[in-house]
Structure 1
Amino acid sequence: MKSSGFYGQTVKRFFHLQQEPVSLITRSLRNAEIAVTETRDDAPIEGVSGEMGLQDANVVTLMLYDDPNCETWERGRRAIKADIRAGATYLYDMKKDVRYIINKPFHALHFYLPRTALDSIAEQSNAPRVGELPAQLGAGHDDPVIRHIGGALLQALRKPAEINQLFIDYAMLAFTAHAAQIYGGLRWRVRAPRTGLAPWQVKRACERLDSDLGGTLSLQQIAAEFGLSVSHFSRAFRISTGLPPHQWLLRQRVQAAKQLMTARDLSLAEIAISAGFANQSHFTRVFSAQVGASPAVWRREAQSTNESES
């Protein structure tokens, strides 16, 4: 299937990759598709990159390798040679047919950010439309927020089966809001809500999340049930519960796993799947991080406690 944004097959062709890279995609903002893709090639095919595809969108790139003396083209002409720094963020305007000379190993994280996403986040914030982002070739930005979000998404890209859609939606919403504010000059006309959801909304939202431990529901689906924007719902849910939706879901998975370990004679692999984890390894990592002990150790201690009490 041919992708319309800068992800999937488009990224494969642009960097002349042998295989299509993994992308994470969210559609939680109305009429917008936002994606993030990791690219890495330590022995690339040298030459001019392919086409990004002309459209009203930006590519926001977090560089993970240095690219000294990088030659970049715009609208069919050589535009600049510049030293591209690992750890810096660069903005590219897809309306300008940006290409570059591939002549050394590369590693980067690319966010596809269409105009529709910027318009949607401005609408949800009751703010004026965001202007053009400052996509100046060779101009890197020291952006610790993009580095932080990128680091979290890199782990997700490498183990996509272990990541629920709520986390992808939440992280990409945070990225979009940040890019709109820092680079697009988004100015909030109203304060973010300081109050949480109504009690009945909290109850209903938690029931919906609890019924889908596998994490297939999107933030958009849940927020729509209350007639709220995704950003409003996410903030209000966190105020009400103390956790963002994806972390609340992980906590519920751990609680479900504990119940299964004490009530039924199942293997840890069976418990992992039943509680919504991708596999036993995923279950062990999340459980150990939250509880401070591995599932096997916790189960032995729980069984020992039950035996001593009976």
Structure 2
Amino acid sequence: MTESYGRRFGKRLRVENAPAMVTRALRNADMAVTEVRCDNPPLEMTGAFQREDAFVITLHLRDRPNREYWEDGRRALVCNFRAGDICLYDLKRNPAALLDKPYHTLFFYLPRVALDTIADEANVPRIRDLSCKPGAAVNDATISSLGSLLLPALRHPDQANRLFVDHVLLAVGVHIAQTYGGMRPVSRLVRGGLAPWQERRAKDMIAANLDGVPVKELARECGLSSAHFSRAFRRSVGVAPHNWLIEQRIVLSKKKLRDDRLSLTDVAAECGFSDHAHFTRHFVRIAGVTPSAWRRALKE
């Protein structure tokens, strides 16, 4: 898995060696960091990234003046980066840049499901978007400091403390969620929402029964009427119970798509979808690409 992230970013940035580290500190979500350095750029555009519901945060470790940036094939802006600046990219927008100057950059991979999990574990509403101008330089001392802590681990992975790496990457995710996603810890319950124990119980039941759980059963476990439970779940989680169920099916399907022995129809059935078309429709809506495209990207 670690090597696949390194190959993925190395290929897009036209370099052969791109050390990476992955954390699974979050339930059902991978986060990763990749170091990419190039002293002799190829004078061409970066390769296309797989479109998906995920963000990439870059930390520039050297100055990069007049960096030219594109989104969805259109030139978006030219920006000067200083060492220590960061930039946020939405992988649904097909970000690209011109590789015309030497660069040394850390790439933090932060999928939507990781942001959702961070919000869920903090018992706060889920984040809808990150507030930052795409492609623009931002001075963020926290990410700069956290990134510097990871450099020794990336260069000497055999000596790296995995627990330390997990905590640093998790700190990056939480900082992004709070600073650019507007996530705020709450000292009281979300008005009209579920109590923490009710939310945990409902999510545990849904996650354990991906074929589906009747709302009335979830409501009964929480001591609420079906209508009250549905409203409170949406208020606390940000989506309806059925939508959260679909999201968990997609999380499971991504794990199963790594197994080439399973056909897409098999994956659909094992994840609780009625058929291949049903699976594909929801996968595209949540991940931004088809299951087959997502599987192919794993091998690149």
Would you say same fold, with TM above 0.5? yes
State which of 49, 53, 64 in structure 1 corresponds to 2:50. Answer: 53
Partner of 1:105: 102
SS class of match (2:25): coil
Partner of 1:134: 131
Establish whether residue 87 from structure 1 lines up as the match of residue 81 from structure 2.
Answer: no
Establish whether residue 125 from structure 1 lines up as the match of residue 122 from structure 2.
Answer: yes
Distance 1:123 1:190 in 2: 15
Taking only aligned residues, the RMSD between alpha carbons, in angstroms, comes to 1.8
Partner of 1:9: 7
Higher RCO (CA-CA < 8 Å; seq separation 6+): 2
Distance 2:123 2:108 in 1: 24
| Contact 1:68/1:82, CA 8 A, preserved across alignment | yes
Taking structure 2 as the reference length, the TM-score comes to 0.60
Shift of 1:45: 1.7
| Contact 1:93/1:135, CA 8 A, preserved across alignment | no
Change (3 A) 1:3 1:132: farther
Q: Deviations over 1:33-75 (max 9, x none)?
A: 0000111010122201101210011111111122211111110
| Contact 1:72/1:137, CA 8 A, preserved across alignment | no
SS class of match (1:8): helix
Shift of 1:83: 1.4
One-letter code of the match for 1:15?
Answer: L
How much identity, in percent, do the aligned residues show?
45
| Contact 1:26/1:169, CA 8 A, preserved across alignment | yes
Change (3 A) 1:100 1:10: same
One-letter code of the match for 1:162?
Answer: Q
Q: Deviations over 1:224-274 (max 9, x none)?
A: xxxxxxxxxxxxxxxxxxxxxxxxxxxxxxxxxxxxxxxxxxxxxxxxxxx
Shift of 1:156: 1.0
Partner of 1:258: none
One-letter code of the match for 2:12?
Answer: F
Shift of 1:139: 2.2
State which of 90, 93, 96 in structure 2 corresponds to 1:96. Answer: 93
Shift of 1:81: 1.5
Distance 1:2 1:25 in 2: 6
SS class of match (1:120): helix
* Structure 1, unpaired ranges of 5+: 192-310
Partner of 2:27: 30
1:199-210 paired onto structure 2 within 5 Å: none
Shift of 1:150: 0.5
Distance 1:43 1:124 in 2: 43
SS class of match (2:58): strand
Larger Rg: 1
Distance 1:163 1:142 in 2: 28
Distance 1:79 1:173 in 2: 30
Distance 1:87 1:157 in 2: 18
Q: Deviations over 1:196-230 (max 9, x none)?
A: xxxxxxxxxxxxxxxxxxxxxxxxxxxxxxxxxxx
Change (3 A) 1:107 1:2: closer
| Contact 2:2/2:20, CA 8 A, preserved across alignment | no
* Structure 2, unpaired ranges of 5+: 189-300
Partner of 2:220: none
| Contact 1:35/1:112, CA 8 A, preserved across alignment | yes
One-letter code of the match for 1:24?
Answer: M
| Contact 2:2/2:21, CA 8 A, preserved across alignment | no
Taking structure 1 as the reference length, the TM-score comes to 0.58
Distance 2:82 2:130 in 1: 20
Shift of 1:126: 0.4
One-letter code of the match for 2:31?
Answer: I
One-letter code of the match for 1:72?
Answer: Y
